[in-house]
Chain A
Amino acid sequence: MDRLKKCIERHRLVVFVAMAMLVASLLVAISMRIYYTSDAFRLDLSRPAYESRRSEINQDSKEKNNTFDAQGLVDKKVLDEFLTMYDDESKDALQRNAFNSEVLGDKELNIVTAETSVSAE
């Protein structure tokens, strides 16, 4: 034990660097675990594969204009204002034809051509 203490005192800087690296590695391991278990990695568009597509992410510029106040009187004018904001915010969502299942079809992927056919068809 005394020899260990002496050794640590003799190589303080090395021990300090090693401990710092150990703590850093531990924190990285914990954060990576949280990153994967929380499914955050699925929505992380900062990954290199998305570099060219990043400009297509909605910047949410409507945030300031379309925030409805949770307090105050309610009359027809207020509800009209709400509906204007609501229509503006929901327009994109309603128009988007997302996750169309046809894009993964055998024909679309050229697995089945005019000559070949899947037995189910």
Chain B
Amino acid sequence: MKRFILYLASFLVVSGLFVQPHATLAQADTISNEALANLRTNCGAIKATVNRIHTNDALVRVNIGQDYNAISTRLMAKLNSRLSLNKLDASKLVSITNEFEATRQKFSSNYNAYDTIMSDLDKINCYDDPAKYHQKLVEARVGRQQLASDITALNKLITSYRDEVLAVKANLRGGNG
């Protein structure tokens, strides 16, 4: 019996170590009663603002997608091909292009996940269930943060590619390679 209590106590202590960080994380997303009351009172206005943001996001997604697509297919891929045909070392440029494509794919799938969260958010009635609405809102914020960091990564790769083209240019001897 003593041994059983010892095992049980050990189990509780060890499981407590795993559970505690999650409880802390969950706590960070909790919302005060006053804020919940605010959410319920301003439900209509908040939903309208969130809908406007969602509509605007689709527009931004299309425009930014077109920009990245043009950079990748009309410029990066074509220069890489031309450098290879001229037997010039384009390995770094190809590597940056591949990374750019992978990040673009990641951005696209992250946007789809974010869009699903925003659609789900629209379906929740913030007057009847403000806590559930807020929880979804927190998820949407995380998704949006992910999109912002994807865009930062893509923009960094655009700059890196430019720098690498300048390096290739510096190695050229006047005329053709």
Residues of chain A having any CB pair with chain B under 8 Å: 39, 42-43, 45, 49-50, 53, 56-58, 60, 62-63, 66-76, 79-80, 82-83, 85-87, 89-90, 92-94, 96, 98-101, 103-106, 109-113, 115-120
Contact = CB atoms under 8 A, between A and B. Distances in A.
Interface stretch (B4-12, B15-23, B29-37): B29-37
Contacts of A68: 74-75, 78-79, 82
Given A99-B151, A117-B35, A94 B158 contact: yes
Contacts of A113: 38
Contacts of A71: 81-82, 85
Given A60-B66, A69-B78, A99-B148, A75 B162 contact: no
A92 B60 CA distance: 12
B174 A116 contact: no
Contacts of A87: 162
A115 B75 CA distance: 53
Contacts of B39: 111
Interface residues of B, number: 71
Interface of B: 27-32, 34-35, 37-39, 42, 45-46, 49-50, 53, 55-68, 70-71, 74-75, 77-79, 81-83, 85-86, 88, 111-112, 115, 134, 137, 140-141, 144-145, 147-148, 151, 154-155, 158-159, 161-162, 165-166, 168-169, 172, 174-177
Q: Which 4 A-B pairs have the closest CB atoms?
A: A116-B34, A99-B147, A93-B67, A70-B78
Contacts of B63: 56-58, 92, 96
A55 to B, nearest CB: 10
A57 B59 contact: yes
Given A42-B115, A75-B172, A118-B31, A58 B67 contact: yes
A70 B35 contact: no
